[in-house]
Homo-oligomer: A and B are copies of this chain.
């Protein structure tokens, strides 16, 4: 991991929750949706297929573990998983809990409206239940 350096925009827009085997698990600073990021700690990788086969498998495992935990703790209608990277090229995977009637449902979350910060107590409560569920 020693060569890994987090993209500045990801650093600014999200906060570290924990470090898994391959990825940083981060929480987006936007309370409109329970919205997590996985950022593989590999430098200069922009596409999943550029990871080694082992890292691809690790990412799959971590992504599915996090998605299943997020579904469990939020009871979401649907989990959205996406690796876009049109604005921030450093590889990162969005894992988002969606609910009928949430902002822009059933459309995508990306590029919609303006982030709304968490209240500190709501954030701490969510992160505690999430980390316990991992």
Chain A residues within 8 Å of B, Cβ to Cβ: 46-49, 56-57, 59-61, 63-65, 67-68, 71, 77-87, 89, 98, 105-108, 110-111
> Known: A47-B71, A64-B56, A108-B108. Contact between A82 and B85, CB under 8 A?
no
Residues from chain B with Cβ under 8 Å of A85 in the complex = 78, 80
* B82:A80 contact, CB within 8 angstroms: yes
Q: Which residue of B lies closest to A99 (CB)?
A: B86
* B47:A67 contact, CB within 8 angstroms: yes
Residues from chain B with Cβ under 8 Å of A86 in the complex = 77-78, 80, 98, 105-107
Beyond A49-B79, A56-B60, A57-B60, 4 additional contacts (C-beta under 8 Å) are A47-B79, A49-B65, A80-B83, A80-B85
